[in-house]
Every structure is written in C-alpha cells, then in structure tokens.
Chains A and B, each alone.
Chain A
Amino acid sequence: MPQGFGSNQAPDWGFGDVEPSPWDGVVRSWGFGDVAPLATLPVSIEGEAGQVFPDDGGEIVTLIAPWPAVGPYRVRLIASGGAAFPTGGFCTAPLVVRLGAIVARDNPQVCFTGAARRRLSFILPPLPVDLYSVEVTRNGEVTTLFNALRVVFRQRCIEDYRIRSAFPGNYTTGPRALSLERTTRPPHGPLEALTRSFGQNAQQLAGRPVTRLGADWTPGDVTVTLESALGWPTSGAFWLAGVRWTYEGINTTTGTLSDVWPSSRQFVTIAEGQEVVCDASAVEPS
C-alpha cells in the first residue's frame, strides 16, 4: 500500500499531512526532511528475544532502528538500582563497529552506525549481574530501552586452562584449572586476559559451553543449579560427574535446569563447583 508523499491513504507521514503521526498520536507530520525525535524511534536489540550476555564483557550488542544520523551517539547502561555504567559519565564502547569492521576511535565514548544508519553497535564492558536499561543520547536527545539487556554470570572456558598450562609455572596466567577459578572477579592482567581471549575464540571455533555446578545436587533433586546457563539450549543434555544427564527446561536468569534425569542412578551428593559440560551434539535442529 503506498504511503509516500501525496498518498491519499493514511498514514501518509508526508509534508503537510493532517493525520497525527503514529509516533505519538499528537504531533502532525514531521514534514519533509524533518528528523523524528530520538525518543520516538522503534529501537530493538539484535538477536533472539530473551538472549542474555556475560558479565565479563566483550560481546558486541547491536541496536536496530532507523537512526536519524550516522552519529555520534553515546550509549550507557542503567542498572535496576539506577547506577549508570561506567560511573562518572556516559559509557560506551572502547571500540565501535563501523561498516562491518571494528575500528578504534580517538574518543572511545562515542558510537557510530553503519552507512545504512540501521545498526548501532557497542561493546559491553564488564558489568555486575543485573537487568539493564539501554540509554542512547545524541545532541541532548535521549531514547531508552527499559530493562532490555540482561547480564548473567559468565561461562567458563576449558580452552583457557589448556593454553595457560603451556606457560612456565612462575608466569601469572590466572587460574590454570576450573576448580581454581574465582567466582566473581572478571579476568584481569595482560596474560590472563590474553589467554582468556584466545581460549574463548578456540571455544567458539570448536568447543562446547562449560560451566560449574552452582549449588550442591542431592539424589532425588529434579533441578540442577549452574553457575551460568549462558549459551545453553532450552532443553538437551549435559555431562556432570562422569554421567550424561538430560534436562527439559532452563531458566537463564537463575541458571537452573529443570526436569533433569541422569543416565545412571546417582546415590551421592555432587558438590558445588564441579565441571558441567553442555552436550552440544545433542541439540536437535528445529
């Protein structure tokens, strides 16, 4: 249905249109060449609904909207308690994605869209586990996606430890085994961050989601609590304590797998902190 300039069918949105705009139902046409206010843009986060992100940062988040200009934009994340990240000003990406390539910028606090003005990308900094609103600002105008981005505890990565084990023992590589991992602190230090980065790439190339048991499992429990269910399918199978288990439901916020069933009966309690590996080969296509 034609909706361009001069159309006799609503909504026209063209210059001089008498219909209230669909953006707010009040303002008449923005007029030819006018730029719609930022707050009226239909913004969404690229990806599947309900997707979550890790707390150690590094993931690229893309906001989809008909952005009025290439930039610059400032993006910051507002936690449920009102704290803005990073504190002390507008956050944003130390790097931006522009025209499909990641480029460093002189000012790390500004973001730009691609040439099509469709995708505005930024890279997540390390954040506390929480539900965040995303605030985008340009020329004093603000648009906010409320409670749009959930950050959960990070995945573990077996490949990290294999890389670190190749270094001499006196090198500060960070934990060299899953059991030695700290619970909350994100990786830091140059060698730890580098090995983590290489490990994550190796995992994404040919690995499987790995995490730890978040709470003791006792015989008879029909749920298993993970440190993080990031990247796990909604139902499937996993390996724990040398046994393959199946599960029917997942809660990515709490990291809980429900309706779990071990392939052989378990008689003893499995302690928190044990390695849990997702059986990715069991993921069935839709």
Chain B
Amino acid sequence: MLQPLSRVEEALRDTLAHKASGRALTRLGRFFGARRLENFIDGAWRRALRAVAYGARATPGTTGDFLEGAFSASNLEWGVTLDPAAPQNVTRVSGDVAAFTCEHVGKLARVKLLPASALPLESGLPARLWPRVSGLFLVEALVSPVGGASQVIKLCPVDTAQWRRADWSTGAFEVSTNALYQGATLEILPWFPIDSASAAKVTVYLDGSIVTGPPTYLLDPGGVDRTSIDANLPRGGIVMDEFNLDGDDPAPTPDGDQINGPHPIYLTGEAQQRVSRIFDGLLASGVKGEIVTRDWC
C-alpha cells in the first residue's frame, strides 16, 4: 500500500467539502454554486467553500470566513518582534522578507505569537505552531520610512492609555522574556471590507495583483486609437473577424496572438466578477456586494 488512504476513503473524501481535493473539490464547488478559479489552491478554496456551504448567509462571520479562506494563500507574513515599551509598534526582524511599504498600510493584520503562558515547551508535545493568535488590527502607519520602506509599522498612530496598557506584558498575550521565544509573526491580509449600511452595499477592496484576468475594456469614444489616449494603454479584447467580413486583403489572421494581440474577445476579465458573484450571494437580500481591485499606494 503506497498511499495511506484506501480507495473507499478517497471516494468518501471526494464527497466532503472539508476533505475533497483537486477536481473533486472543484466539482463540489459547482454543486454549491461557487465556481472555482484556477488560481485558488486547494487549501484556500476548501476554506472558502466551507463558508459558502455551511455558513449562515447574511452574517458577517460567514462573509469574513469566505474572504479569509479564498485569499488565504495571498496573505503576507513577516517575522516581527513586539516591544512592551511601545506596544503599537511592530518591528520587522532584519534579514526577513522585504521591509514594510505604503502597500501594507490601511490593511488588516494579525499577530501570531508564542506567549509566556505556553512556555516551557515540552518536547514531543503536539502543539499548535502559534498558540496565540490576535484579533485583527488595522495597519495605520509606517514609522520613519526611508526610501518608501520602513522597518516598523504602527497599529495605532497615537499614544493612548488603552494601548499603553495593552503592552504585550500581561495575560494571554504576554510576550516571553526569553529572547528565544520573543519572535512573532505578523500576517497582513490582502483585502479590506467597507460596509456602507446606508447604501446597503459591502465593498471589498482587494490587492490588484491577486485576481487578474486578461484585459478587456471599451474605449470612449468607441473606435478611438488607444495610443492616442495613452501610449502604454494595454490592448483590450477584440472580436476576431473569422470570415473576413470586411473583405480585407490579405485577410486578417483568424487567431489572436496571446502575447502581442489582438486578444480574442473570449479572454474576458471574468475572474474578479466570479468572486464578486459568490461574495454577493453570501450577503443578505437587497445588500449589494462587490469586490474592487486597487493599488494600495
């Protein structure tokens, strides 16, 4: 037996939203009305599908679970240190991934740490990697950026009494005094929701690079030369003249070039719309949901 799972177990798992993988997971998603995008990995899509399938519609928790799950593979992580003397500040461990920039400000973040209460670690004891995970903070500002990048971010730009007391030194989030266990992980989420109650609308801003599709758009006025608007404007989709109805001589090529264009019209930018449709379906009737991609800087 070269695999741990028997065929019966595999067949059973293919029917379960929380255990299926690969094509079975995609098929299950279709049954629940959530068509999977190719760029969602199994783990992320499974989390999203669980929210869609088993979550209560029109509840903030379910919509949050869906967004958390669907985009979990795009979360950014840093090794950081927490300073009880300046609890609002989160400092990047030098030598870790790139420094903080304006792209990270205005996003939601959480801190995962090994608190003093979980120490000493007993060898062999099965434990969660991070025994303590904080709630969500908002990344408010960069501290002393040099060349647009900073080693420190602020979870609150002003020094308040509340923050002075929440100094990572007591209770469940007490940071160990042992230098070996002082490191923590900062996780920044790539999406940010705005609930406009008066407009009955929930807008989720998403990193532009996550859900992308081939560009298709209409220029205004129609038929204008795109380079007359901007020399760097990308080419859009085009309806291919398969039958040379215009009678061009020589006839245009029936197939578009996928790199240089013209890009056939079937290359639509549908990816983002599909996520929007699923998200919209999770909200209460009458509440409009939309996902908007944006550059954060």
In this complex, what residue of B is CB-closest to A233? B4
Asked if A35 CB lies within 8 Å of chain B CBs, one says: no
Give min CB distance, A95 to chain B, whole Å.
18
> Which residues in B have their C-beta under 8 angstroms from that of A260?
124
Total count of chain A residues near the partner, CB < 8 A: 31
Q: A155-B1, A231-B1, A285-B42 are in contact. Are A206 and B124 (CB under 8 A)?
A: no
Q: Are B6 and A261 in contact (CB under 8 A)?
A: no
Asked if B126 CB lies within 8 Å of chain A CBs, one says: yes
Asked if A204 CB lies within 8 Å of chain B CBs, one says: yes
Q: Are A206 and B7 in contact (CB under 8 A)?
A: yes
A286–B5 CA distance with the chains assembled, in angstroms? 14
Q: Are B8 and A230 in contact (CB under 8 A)?
A: no
Asked if A212 CB lies within 8 Å of chain B CBs, one says: no
Q: Are A285 and B20 in contact (CB under 8 A)?
A: yes
Q: A285-B19, A285-B20 are in contact. Are A204 and B125 (CB under 8 A)?
A: no
Complex interface residues of chain B between 212 and 242 (CB less than 8 A to chain A): none
Complex interface residues of chain B between 112 and 157 (CB less than 8 A to chain A): 123-126
Q: Are B126 and A278 in contact (CB under 8 A)?
A: no
Complex interface residues of chain B between 1 and 15 (CB less than 8 A to chain A): 1-9, 13
Q: Are A222 and B19 in contact (CB under 8 A)?
A: no
> Which residues in B have their C-beta under 8 angstroms from that of A157?
1
Q: Are B20 and A204 in contact (CB under 8 A)?
A: no
Asked if B264 CB lies within 8 Å of chain A CBs, one says: no
Q: Are B3 and A281 in contact (CB under 8 A)?
A: no
Asked if A125 CB lies within 8 Å of chain B CBs, one says: no
Give min CB distance, B24 to chain A, whole Å.
10
B6, B13, B21, B124 interface centre (most CB from chain A within 10 Å): B124
Total count of chain B residues near the partner, CB < 8 A: 20
Q: Are A236 and B19 in contact (CB under 8 A)?
A: no
> Which residues in A have their C-beta under 8 angstroms from that of B123?
222, 259
Give min CB distance, A125 to chain B, whole Å.
17
> Which residues in A have their C-beta under 8 angstroms from that of B6?
203-208, 280
Q: Are B21 and A231 in contact (CB under 8 A)?
A: no
Q: Are B124 and A259 in contact (CB under 8 A)?
A: yes
Asked if A248 CB lies within 8 Å of chain B CBs, one says: yes
Asked if A200 CB lies within 8 Å of chain B CBs, one says: yes
Give min CB distance, A127 to chain B, whole Å.
15
> Which residues in B have their C-beta under 8 angstroms from that of A285?
13, 19-21, 42-43, 46
Contact for B125 among A59, A203, A231, A261, CB less than 8 A: A261
Q: Are A205 and B8 in contact (CB under 8 A)?
A: yes
> Which residues in B have their C-beta under 8 angstroms from that of A230?
1-2
> Which residues in B have their C-beta under 8 angstroms from that of A51?
2
Asked if A232 CB lies within 8 Å of chain B CBs, one says: yes
Contact for B1 among A200, A246, A248, CB less than 8 A: A200
Give min CB distance, A51 to chain B, whole Å.
7
Q: A222-B124, A261-B125 are in contact. Are A283 and B1 (CB under 8 A)?
A: no
> Which residues in B have their C-beta under 8 angstroms from that of A208?
4, 6
In this complex, what residue of B is CB-closest to A260? B124
Complex interface residues of chain A between 25 and 61 (CB less than 8 A to chain B): 51, 53-54, 59
A203–B3 CA distance with the chains assembled, in angstroms? 11
A259–B1 CA distance with the chains assembled, in angstroms? 24
Asked if A14 CB lies within 8 Å of chain B CBs, one says: no
Asked if A187 CB lies within 8 Å of chain B CBs, one says: no
Asked if A255 CB lies within 8 Å of chain B CBs, one says: no
Q: Are B126 and A248 in contact (CB under 8 A)?
A: yes
Give min CB distance, B152 to chain A, whole Å.
34
Q: Are A231 and B9 in contact (CB under 8 A)?
A: no
In this complex, what residue of B is CB-closest to A205? B7
> Which residues in A have their C-beta under 8 angstroms from that of B4?
208-209, 231-233, 236, 278, 280, 283
In this complex, what residue of B is CB-closest to A156? B1
Q: Report A184-201 CB contacts with B as 1/0, cut-off 8 Å.
A: 000000000000000010
A205–B8 CA distance with the chains assembled, in angstroms? 6
A231–B20 CA distance with the chains assembled, in angstroms? 20
Q: A222-B123, A248-B126, A286-B42 are in contact. Are A281 and B9 (CB under 8 A)?
A: yes
B6, B7, B43, B123 interface centre (most CB from chain A within 10 Å): B6
A53, A200, A283, A285 interface centre (most CB from chain B within 10 Å): A285
Q: A222-B123, A280-B9 are in contact. List 13 more A-B contacts (CB 8 A).
A: A51-B2, A204-B6, A204-B7, A205-B6, A206-B9, A209-B4, A230-B1, A246-B126, A260-B124, A280-B5, A280-B6, A281-B9, A285-B20
- 24 A-B contacts, Cβ less than 8 Å apart? A53-B2, A157-B1, A203-B1, A204-B7, A205-B6, A205-B7, A206-B7, A207-B1, A230-B1, A231-B3, A232-B4, A246-B126, A248-B126, A260-B124, A261-B124, A261-B125, A280-B5, A280-B6, A280-B9, A285-B19, A285-B20, A285-B42, A286-B21, A286-B42
CB-CB nearest 6 A-B residue pairs? A206-B8, A222-B124, A231-B1, A280-B4, A246-B126, A285-B21
